[in-house]
Amino acid sequence: MTHNFDQVIDRRHSDSIKWHYYDEDVLPLWVADMDFNSPEPVVRALRERIEHGVFGYGTEPKELRDLLVARLRDRYGWTVAPEAIVFVPGVVAGFNIAGRAVMAPGDGVLVQTPVYGPFLSLPQTANLALNAMELTRQADGRYIIDMDRMAETVTGNTRAFLLCNPHNPVGRVFDRAELTGMADLCLKHGLAIISDEIHGDLVFSGHPHVPIASLAPEIAARSITLMAPSKTFNIAGLGCSFAVIPDPGLRQQFRAAAAGIVPHVDVLSFAAALAAYRDGDAWLSECLRYLEANRDFTAGFVAERLPGITMSPMEGTYLAWLDCREAGIPGKPADFFLKDARVGMNDGAWFGAGGEGFVRLNFGCPRATLEEGLARMERALLELRAA
């Protein structure tokens, strides 16, 4: 590989929330950023922009919008007009804007749990009703969608479906048939589709990402799709994301909901996004191979050396979903591993119904870091069993 993903970079003495949240002896494998250097073209572009020395109000780079249109076409076969793209400073901000754009207080939003925690916060912050359904976990740990259950979850007050694809935390990359089934249900009930596709570039062999809005024009007309370079190129601390909203009326609703509240993307974030999308794909290809190897290593370690714990098959993202319910762990597994293994992971309950007894482990790190974290977990389990 041209890029050295095995390099261990000291983030403990930086401003990283990941590495400052816990005590210094805790190995943090939680929040979703990677412990790798960002692509060199991104670093170079930021350095050049900083050396300019003036950081006034900015505007989007001229090339960026056309670059995104070409990327959507080439990667997904999705033809999008340039004006369909709306830049926002983050995907979480984006789906909160979208929720306010298509729903009124008291309306219902459909979500599928366990799911990224801020999905569950949207109903609270926007005074909406949460229409939640659990994904179905099969015997092999793979999650599927019970379409009958999804239909039963829709009420007369449901106005939108908030989709996570690729799914965080269960690691699914929903296929075309699954997406079509969900989209058809939304069309039948007149639901808007708000689709968080931030991990869309982080998919593994045999699991291509399909934007739900790319399925058909009538689906695109009801969809707000949210994407970003942040996870893909490890620039999560730089706030540049974008919404793809093909329908002009829906796009105007989105802009109106953000007006006066949501800030514009800043000049450094725009510079990083342009460099990433223009020059970062060689880095991304190597990163995906490294992440896939880390995924396989984690799956093998869990199966062979962490008794009572199983890992869901990961089709995308760098976030392993571990079922600890048969490990004999007292209390919450995340608390146990923090106290006894000194490994920090996300508590599964944060992801809503169906997450209890699980932890989410971030394997987007050098192999040595991952090995150390898993070895600590193994020792803690052995000590628990010996007690």
Q: For 17-40+281-386, CATH number?
A: 3.90.1150.10
% of the chain with per-residue pLDDT over 70: 100
User: In the predicted model, what is the mean pLDDT of residues 364-377?
Assistant: 98
User: DSSP assignment, residue 84?
Assistant: G
d(CA 144, CA 146): 7
Write out the two tokens for 191.
Answer: 């639901």
Read off the pLDDT of residues 267-283 as tens digits, 9 standing for 90 and up. 999 999 999 999 999 99
Write out the two tokens for 299.
Answer: 């799956």
d(CA 332, CA 355): 11
Q: Provide the pLDDT for residue 346.
A: 98
Pairs from 175-182 (Cβ < 8 Å, separation ≥ 24): 175/207, 175/210, 176/210, 176/215, 178/144, 178/145, 179/210, 179/212, 179/215, 180/215, 181/145, 181/147, 182/145, 182/147, 182/150, 182/212
Based on the number of CB atoms within 10 Å of its own CB, is 135 exposed (0-12), middle (13-18) or buried (19 or more)?
A: buried
Residues of the chain with CATH 3.40.640.10: 45-279
3.20.20.190, 3.40.640.10, 3.40.630.30, 3.40.630.40: CATH of 45-279: 3.40.640.10
Q: Are strands 108-113 and 136-137 parallel, antiparallel or unpaired?
A: unpaired
User: In the predicted model, what is the mean pLDDT of residues 199-219?
Assistant: 98
d(CA 314, CA 78): 25
Residue 234 pLDDT exceeds 90: yes
Is 336:349 a contact under the CB 8 Å cutoff?
Answer: no
d(CA 375, CA 369): 10
Of 209, 254, 279, 241, which Cα lies nearest the Cα of 38? 279
Q: How far is CA 217 from the centre of its chain?
A: 25
- List phi, psi (to 5°) of 251: -65, -40
Torsion (CA) 379, 288, 85, 75 in degrees, nearest 10: -140
Residues of the chain with CATH 3.90.1150.10: 17-40+281-386
Q: Provide the pLDDT for residue 379.
A: 98
Read off the pLDDT of residues 55-113 as tens digits, 9 standing for 90 and up. 999 999 999 999 999 999 999 999 999 999 999 999 999 999 999 999 999 999 999 99
% of the chain with per-residue pLDDT over 90: 99
User: DSSP assignment, residue 316?
Assistant: B
Q: Provide the pLDDT for residue 387.
A: 84
User: DSSP assignment, residue 26?
Assistant: S
Read off the pLDDT of residues 283-311 as tens digits, 9 standing for 90 and up. 999 999 999 999 999 999 999 999 999 99
User: DSSP assignment, residue 351?
Assistant: G
Of 75, 78, 103, 68, which Cα lies nearest the Cα of 241? 68
User: In the predicted model, what is the mean pLDDT of residues 305-318?
Assistant: 98
d(CA 7, CA 366): 6
User: In the predicted model, what is the mean pLDDT of residues 19-31?
Assistant: 97
Read off the pLDDT of residues 130-189 as tens digits, 9 standing for 90 and up. 999 999 999 999 999 999 999 999 999 999 999 999 999 999 999 999 999 999 999 999
Of 234, 230, 150, which Cα lies nearest the Cα of 191? 150
What value does the mean pLDDT of the chain take? 97
Residue 1 pLDDT exceeds 80: no
Alpha helices in the chain (DSSP H): 17-20, 40-52, 64-76, 91-102, 117-125, 147-153, 176-189, 217-220, 248-258, 267-279, 281-305, 333-336, 367-386
User: In the predicted model, what is the mean pLDDT of residues 116-140?
Assistant: 97
d(CA 159, CA 105): 11
Is 268:238 a contact under the CB 8 Å cutoff?
Answer: yes
In angstroms, what is the C-alpha Rg of the chain? 21
Write out the two tokens for 315.
Answer: 């089709």
Q: From residue 29, how far is each of 12, 232, 376 by CA, in Å?
A: 13, 18, 12
Instruction: Specify the pTM.
Output: 0.97
Of 213, 88, 129, 107, which Cα lies nearest the Cα of 163? 213
Q: How far is CA 315 from the centre of its chain?
A: 13
